[in-house]
Structure 1
Amino acid sequence: MRTLAKIPGPDLTVVENDELRRYELLAAGTTVGTLDFRLLGRRRVLGHTEIAADQRGRGLGTALIKAALDDLVTTGVRVTNYCPAVERFLQSNPEYAVVLDPEHPPMPASRRQHAPLQQLVHVQHSRLRELAARSQDPNLDGFERRRTTDQFAAVAAQHAAAVADVLLTAARTSSGNDAAVLLHNLKQFEQALRVLKGRAYGDARFLNLSSAETWQQAERLLTEHESTEARIVSGLERLHGADQATDMARTLAQRQWSSPTRPHPNSPHAGVAGRLARQLWRIADSTWDELEGRGLPTEPAEPANQHSTFSHYLFGTADDPDPTDQDPEKR
């Protein structure tokens, strides 16, 4: 954790928490504000700013954003911004526009409304990154580290299986080369998940590997997966249009929660054999999870109203802005 700035006030500090991939505003050591980011090589993608409810209305969101951008200017790191609060700050302080990466501008809002599949995989990838960062928190004890690592492995395995079921099948008919790359990556990624989970639980086959080595391999393959999947999804949306992409996004979300909870890199992935294997593994994995008392994330309730806030968030469709969502200090 690196200190970026001291802010006038009762023991206020802005730090960079690289483990959790966010900037934090601390009041007497307690986190009262955050600005999330993702790493894409040397570039950072700014996602969301929020201030604790009891600290709003004091300009702390602006102070947090300013400290983060000051550091980015100093270090020469370029950003792609998706945070409305940061966008408003940049409009009021155009001298900070130097931090924006002109080669990687954010997806325009009008396009995001018509890119439901891209939005969904972005949400899923962000969740995996969050779980990965949480699992590597050095402050966790052994039990909690195993639990969070297991959660990451389960969610990642389900995501990989759903991608094989939906996106790999679609890609094979539209982009053979990308489909082959995705298939190879899925198998490698699932093998890395198997090693990661086995190492966390003391599997003798993997004890010669350090925790850092297993995580480095898993995150490298996750990065490759994100890149390949994003390329395939973009092509599918161009090919099929927004309506069919929305249906595909809905299917992908539903399949993820009905997919195996353990990685199976040596099973068939494509075609009828792959689908049958996933159905059988889902039954077997559910049985083992029940016997082990394995605590895993649960399926979110399907929104009855397809125009609900959750639906818009999940599928990236247009929604009327909530007036309380305009400023991180008013949330």
Structure 2
Amino acid sequence: MGTTTCLREALQHTHDELCERLVSARATIDRPEISRRGCPPIDLFLSGTSKHLHAVDQVILPRVRHMCGDGSQLVHDYLGSEKELEVVLAHVKAHEFGSAYETAFDWDAVWGDVEEAIDQQWAQECRLVEQLGEDLSDDRLEEITAEFAAAEERAPSRPHPFLPHTGPGGWVARRVMRIADAFWDTVEGRFVPEPRRQERKRPGLLGQYLMADPRFDEEPEEAVEASPAEGERTVPS
């Protein structure tokens, strides 16, 4: 049995960050001087939430289904709450870009639906994490935490409620939609943060030789000979 501390804290940190982004996104709606088309606070909330949901599908759900008792039922319950949240996020995206189909809904109603849906999804996500803690070791949970962080950075940036979420179909859908989302984000001018890139290690001697790019260590500065002080006589040797 693991403590789930690392995994729970990582997911809690992401959830708190998404809630802060939701507050910032909702605050921009009451400012008419700001265009809602390509609004950075809304884009940040939508992209961050979508990436998080896709990472849960990729990393958390397979472990719960195959390694936890009653995992299939837990996954089924979670997918229902996740789909509701993704549908609401799609409404937010349509509102932001002025879809004619969204004129019957005002922003207050949309944001209210978002808050309700995200609370339900978070409750189901916590159930998954608690079950993983009961059935897996601490070392395994730490591996899942690291894999989850990497999956979030590579995940699609938009919600896709009607595409497969689990199994081989979900894997293919995430691969395809990650490329499609990146293309449309550029076309529509959406603000999506670039993933953090690790600094590349300096190539070794063999690598420098193969690349014909030797990199020498910086030579220490040569000592500067002190000139005789003014009025000081030099004694010939």
Specify the TM-score bucket, using the shorter chain as the normaliser. Answer: 0.7 to 0.9
Superposition RMSD in Å? 2.2
1:142 aligned residue: 34
Shift of residue 143 of structure 1?
A: 2.6
Is the CA contact 1:168–1:183 (under 8 Å) kept in the aligned structure 2? Answer: no
Letter of the structure 2 residue corresponding to residue 116 of structure 1: C
Report what 1:233 is aligned to: 129
Q: Do 2:21 and 2:44's aligned partners in 1 also have CA atoms closer than 8 Å?
A: yes
Residue number in structure 2 paired with 1:195: 91
Spell out, residue by residue over 1:167-214, the C-alpha distance to the aligned partner (whole angstroms, 9 max, x if none).
122222222221101111111111110001111221111121110111
Partner of 1:257: helix, strand, or coil?
Answer: helix
The structure with higher relative contact order (CA 8 Å, sep 6+) is 2
Report the CA distance between 1:137 and its aligned residue. 1.5
- Are 1:208 and 2:208 counterparts? no
Deviation at 1:276, TM superposition (A): 0.6
Higher strand share: 1
Corresponding residue for 1:282?
Answer: 178
What corresponds to 1:152 in structure 2?
45
Structure 1 CA distance, aligned partners of 2:94 and 2:121? Answer: 21
Distance apart, 1:291 and its partner CA: 2.3
The answer to which of 285-294 and 249-258 deviates more is 285-294
Sort the Cα spacing of 1:179 and 1:303 in 2 relative to 1 into closer, same or farther, 3 A. Answer: farther
- The reply on whether 1:297 has 2:189 as its aligned counterpart is no
Q: Residue type matched to 1:258 in 2?
A: R
Give the aligned length: 194
1:56-108 per-position Cα deviation (integer Å, ceiling 9, x unaligned) = xxxxxxxxxxxxxxxxxxxxxxxxxxxxxxxxxxxxxxxxxxxxxxxxxxxxx
Instruction: Give the C-alpha shift of residue 303 in structure 1.
Output: 8.1
Q: Percent identity, aligned pairs only? A: 25
The amino acid of 1:239's aligned partner reads D
Larger Rg: 2
Relative to total residues, which structure has the larger helix share, 1 or 2? 2
Partner of 1:326: none
> So what's the TM-score if we normalise by structure 2?
0.76
